[in-house]
Amino acid sequence: MSQVFILVDHAGGHITKATSELALFGKRIGEVTALIFSNESSPLLEELTTMAVDRAVVIEGINFDSYSAAPVARIVANLISEKSPSAFLVSSTVKGKEVAARAAVLTNSGLITDAIDLTSELVATQSIFGGSTTVHSQVTHGCAIVTLRSNSIEVEATTSNPVVETVVVSVDSLDPSALLDQVISLEATVSGGRPELTEAAIVVSGGRGTNGDFTPVEALADSLGAAVGASRAATDAGWYPHSHQVGQTGKTVSPQLYLACGISGAIQHRAGMQTSKMIIAVNKDAEAPIFDLVDFGVVGDLFAVLPQATAGILSKKS
Amino acid sequence: MKIAVCVKQVPDSWAEKKMAGGLLDRASVDAVLNDLDEYAVEEALRLVETHSPTGASGEGSGHSITIISMGPDRATEAIRKALSMGADDAILISDPALSGSDALATSLVLAAVIGAKDFDLILCGTESTDARMSVIPAMLAQRLGFAQLTFAGSISVVPETSQITIARMTDVGVENMKAKLPAVVSVIEKINEPRYPSFKGIMASKKKTIEVKTLSDLGIDPATVGMSAAWSEVKDAQARPPRAAGVKVVDDGNGGNALVNFLVEKRVI
Ligand SMILES: Cc1cc2nc3c(=O)[nH]c(=O)nc-3n(C[C@H](O)[C@H](O)[C@H](O)COP(=O)(O)OP(=O)(O)OC[C@H]3O[C@@H](n4cnc5c(N)ncnc54)[C@H](O)[C@@H]3O)c2cc1C
Ligand SMILES: Cc1cc2nc3c(=O)[nH]c(=O)nc-3n(C[C@H](O)[C@H](O)[C@H](O)COP(=O)(O)OP(=O)(O)OC[C@H]3O[C@@H](n4cnc5c(N)ncnc54)[C@H](O)[C@@H]3O)c2cc1C
């Protein structure tokens, strides 16, 4: 049976939902081995039993968060050479894509990024050019290294009892070229208890039209259990953290519903939200380009429309 | 400091992009310098302005900015733009055998050009607007054995100690990172505001050298690059039907309620 490696993505002691998706894609292909890079793996191994995995390899001994993707990629590449899996699946986060890129170079393998589907025959689906074109592609050499966007597959509840192996590595055991860069400090993103942007079913975003006041945007988001996003105009002004930026240089989201409030719909913003299943916009300007994308649009002041909508949603829910 | 800036010519963002024979149809659209690569060029200029005693690069200053691009001959247009902003010279790798190259081949060729010179700093954009893979900088760092400092929202260099620090801005937050040069650094748009080329800059760029190299100049076997050596293949590409036009209402005091009704109708709530 074919072997598949998946890279476990985790933050704050929890495995991301995107990782469960990787396991499900992996299951279509063969036996799934989850690679966990962490010095505190026990809570992660606990969570792993709710995902479709057969084996887990814990790699510990180095604080992997203190480096770029280089050491993780080096160790993954060694494991790929040793075990020859048919595929290595990674979620499309910034660091995940960098691990995939370096592992592709190290193992001389083909790389496909930002897939939204993957068949048992390893045919990947990509949505390119802002969602206007759908491409099917396949890796033809080496291990198929594929990064997958989150929200690409319905996560089903499951239980597993993976066989766990632990590998201890040390800084001295690694090729020095894998340790050339170091993280000195991290100002981590605060989620404020809301769902993660790329995983949320609904995203409510605010732009320059909020004029710095995100209260109505957050209230609407909370009434829908949604994540909060922002345009570059809003992050540049310091109204919302950059880690919430949606667009070309921010996150790419593909939720069931995207609500753009006081956002004009510049091409760079569209690049991050155009593939959302349903799009709603609230904007004062009837000519704003965002309206070209919408399923439903309200031409109006967000400070009037959003609170009314929030109140309506809360009353329907109660 | 010897700086290389990698730039890609891409179709204009607003142009309608199509696939032809498993490749992006580049001939039928206007081409521009990838927007984030302009920020990389600007950052190179600012680093030189900060560290050169004369505030400029070029002969005798100990500082230089070289533009490197792989692409068809037409990519000289994008390169001229970077030169007109103030870069010193350029290398274009152009060879019919490169058509259809994947990211692995692209990084192989770029690394061969960069590795042949002793650059201190390689600047890139984080992502191209056409393929949007965001992988070339990490691949270059891997191939060259340089430090990888990607997604930089700010950069500072201490040339005396070869120390470079960046603020890496990503989905996890802001990470301050450090390394010793040489390093591959990719930039995001928060880093600066690129200058417009001046008239003087445009005139000067016409006299600057663009060295065109082929695969044989680099000693790269054509069989290792291009479409036939691409390790991922496009099986098919289909244009998706455009989104159907939606409903637009003007708020008459009930816009929020109309929105709620739409959500109910679509079973969102
Ligand atoms: C290299 C590069 C990368 C970029 N990357 C990104 C990116 O990742 N993400 C991104 O978003 N942008 C990005 N941009 C910037 C992008 O081009 C736009 O400038 C930005 O998206 C504009 O943000 P905005 O829509 O909030 O502001 P604006 O374009 O100023 O639009 C504000 C909108 O709010 C409306 N409005 C004002 N007041 C109200 C009100 N009271 N009620 C309702 N509506 C109101 C206005 O009618 C207007 O349509 C990038 C640009 C470059 C050059
Ligand atoms: C629609 C589409 C889909 C593709 N899918 C795949 C795929 O799945 N797998 C695959 O391996 N290849 C793929 N390719 C090929 C890939 O685009 C090229 O190999 C490309 O050179 C590297 O990817 P990128 O443009 O996404 O670069 P990115 O990694 O997004 O670019 C980042 C930075 O690297 C530098 N850079 C990138 N290209 C060049 C260049 N030619 N010259 C100089 N500097 C450069 C620039 O500074 C740029 O800002 C695809 C191409 C297209 C058009």
- Tell me the pLDDT tens digit for each residue of B219-256: 999 999 999 889 999 999 998 877 788 999 999 999 99
Ligand 1 mean position, distance from CA A302 (Å): 15
Ligand 2 mean position, distance from CA B169 (Å): 21
**H helix count then E strand count, chain B:** 7, 15
**Mean pLDDT value across residues A290-316:** 97
Closest CA to B71 of B96, B100, B94: B94
Cα–Cα distance between A215 and B155 in angstroms, integer? Answer: 33
What are the DSSP E strand ranges found in A252-310? 257-261, 278-283, 296-299
Domain ranges of chain B: 2-229
Share of chain A above pLDDT 90, in %: 88
Domains of chain A, first to last = 3-179 (3.40.50.620), 202-317 (3.40.50.1220)
Cα–Cα distance between B193 and B187 in angstroms, integer? Answer: 12
Cα–Cα distance between B184 and B250 in angstroms, integer? Answer: 50
Q: Is the pLDDT of residue B26 over 80?
A: no
Classify burial at A288, counting beta carbons within 10 Å of its beta carbon; exposed 0-12, middle 13-18, buried 19 or more.
Answer: buried
Task: Supply the mean pLDDT for chain A.
Answer: 95
Sheet hosting strand A278-283, strand order edge to edge: A227-230, A202-206, A257-261, A278-283, A296-299, B247-250
d(CA A82, nearest CA chain B) in Å: 20
d(CA B35, nearest CA chain A) in Å: 10
Task: Supply the mean pLDDT for chain B.
Answer: 94
Q: What is the pLDDT of residues A201-259, one digit of tens each?
A: 999 999 999 999 999 999 999 999 999 999 999 999 999 999 999 998 899 999 999 99
Predicted confidence at residue B19, as pLDDT, reads 79
Q: Using a CB-CB distance cutoff of 8 angstroms, which residues of chain B are in contact with residue A316? A: 260, 264, 269
- For residue B101, the chain A residue with the least C-alpha distance is A110
Predicted confidence at residue A33, as pLDDT, reads 98
Please state which CATH number belongs to domain B2-229. 3.40.50.620
Q: What is the pLDDT of residues B183-228, one digit of tens each?
A: 999 999 999 999 999 999 999 999 999 999 999 999 999 999 999 8
Predicted confidence at residue B14, as pLDDT, reads 66
**Interface predicted TM-score (ipTM):** 0.94
H/E stretch holding B158: strand B147-158
Contact B73, B13 (CB under 8 A): no
Predicted confidence at residue B15, as pLDDT, reads 66
pLDDT band at B29 (very low <50, low <70, confident <90, very high): confident
Ligand 2 mean position, distance from CA A66 (Å): 27
Could you say which residues from 262 to 291 on chain A have a Cβ atom under 8 Å away from some Cβ of chain B?
267-268, 271, 278-280, 282, 286, 291
Q: Is the pLDDT of residue A99 over 80?
A: yes
Predicted confidence at residue A105, as pLDDT, reads 98
Contacts for A222-226 with beta carbons within 8 Å, 24 or more apart?
A222/A194, A223/A310, A223/A313, A223/A314, A223/A317, A224/A257, A224/A313, A224/B268, A224/B269, A225/A195, A225/A201, A226/A194, A226/A195, A226/A200, A226/A201, A226/A202, A226/A257, A226/A259
pLDDT band at B80 (very low <50, low <70, confident <90, very high): very high
Q: Using a CB-CB distance cutoff of 8 angstroms, which residues of chain A are in contact with residue B138? A: 68-69, 97-98, 101-102
Q: What is the pLDDT of residues B99-124, one digit of tens each?
A: 999 999 999 999 999 999 999 999 99
Contact A160, A52 (CB under 8 A): yes
Closest CA to B178 of A2, A304, A66: A66
Q: Using a CB-CB distance cutoff of 8 angstroms, which residues of chain B are in contact with residue A241? A: 173
pTM: 0.94
